[in-house]
Amino acid sequence: MAATAEPPKMDQIKSLLGGGAAGVATVLAGHPFDTLKVRLQTSNNYKGLADCFKQTVAKEGLLGLYKGMASPLVGVTPMFALSFWSYDLGCQLVRDLTPNRTKKDLTLTEYAIAGGFSAIPTTIVTTPMERVKVILQTQDQSVGGKKYTGMVDAGAGMWKEGGIRSLYRGTVATLARDIPGSAAYFWAYEAVYRALKPKGEEGLSVGSVLFAGGMAGVAMWSIAIPPDVIKSRIQSAPAGTYKGFMDCGVKIVASEGPTALFKGLGPALLRAFPANAAGFLGRAGMMEVLHRLW
């Protein structure tokens, strides 16, 4: 009879700090692409990615690509901390539910399950953060023009207008995007990292982490764009425009055709590789430092 493997124990503090480092690195590397993605998803004023970039820079300068970055930088840091913590917790739960396993490493399917689980608690932070970000990214192209001066002003304004319901508009769409997206995200990272890391190598393999992290982002956004388009529309539209997730999706397809659900796919995929490569490397680097400290 095979001996039962002793499962590794989750370190709560390391998990949170490592995830926070991933969030900072991801935002710094990927925000310009995110701005272009959101503008393409919420406006018909652009012919494509290149035209959106050209118009944004011509009207607002390069800094226009970083509009709304304060919100994700403040929000994504705890969001990624919570995401990686939830992922590690999901992995721990899988191990706890399979006490007689003979190998400490999870299967790729089990990593996907843990990844899907991670999206649920993370939504608590993700939804209001992205609601504020989307409004700041799109207000210049709306009929009413610029309404908010920054993240705090936008958050306070939404709270005043509709309370917590306003800040959490798009929660269902966020879950519809992030549960399957996160499952694909962590599955792809583990699969690619396992395939690339040289056998017997101890410690951090930077090249493997970068490529696996980049491919994790590509895997997620390859399936997450349709619900992300719906989320962006719901979060940027005036209250009452859509009855919910399905109503928004049906109206988009009816008025613009099925291809409208894939708006922003180009910048999302362009952003996915460098942003998530940076994110996973930021997390891995932070974990290396933390492991040496305690």
User: CATH number of the domain that 102 lies in?
Assistant: 1.50.40.10
| Residue 110 lies inside a defined structural domain of this protein | yes
| Residue 3 lies inside a defined structural domain of this protein | no
| Residue 4 lies inside a defined structural domain of this protein | no
The per-residue pLDDT for range 183-238, each reduced to its tens digit, is 999 999 999 998 998 777 777 788 899 999 999 999 999 999 999 999 999 999 88
Return the CA Rg of the chain.
Answer: 20
| Residue 78 lies inside a defined structural domain of this protein | yes
Residues 6+ apart with CB under 8 A from 126: 75, 79, 174, 178
Q: How far is CA 288 from the centre of its chain?
A: 23
Question: In terms of residue numbers, what domain contains 192?
Answer: 12-293
In degrees, rounded to 5, the angle at the alpha carbon of residue 177 between the alpha carbons of residues 172 and 183 is 125
Q: What are phi and psi of 183, to 5 degrees?
A: -60, -45
CA pair distance 213, 282, nearest whole angstrom: 10
CA pair distance 34, 49, nearest whole angstrom: 11
CA pair distance 198, 84, nearest whole angstrom: 24
Q: What pLDDT score was predicted for residue 2?
A: 46
Predicted structure pTM score = 0.81
Q: Tally the domains of the chain.
A: 1
| Residue 83 lies inside a defined structural domain of this protein | yes
pLDDT > 70: percent of the chain: 95
The per-residue pLDDT for range 144-164, each reduced to its tens digit, is 667 888 888 999 999 998 999
3-state SS, residue 46: coil
| Residue 7 lies inside a defined structural domain of this protein | no
> In the Cβ-directed half-sphere of 291, how many Cα atoms lie within 13 Å?
10
Pure H helices in the chain = 12-42, 49-60, 70-97, 108-138, 151-167, 171-196, 206-236, 245-256, 265-293
CA pair distance 221, 235, nearest whole angstrom: 19
Q: What pLDDT score was predicted for residue 6?
A: 55
| Residue 67 lies inside a defined structural domain of this protein | yes
| Residue 104 lies inside a defined structural domain of this protein | yes
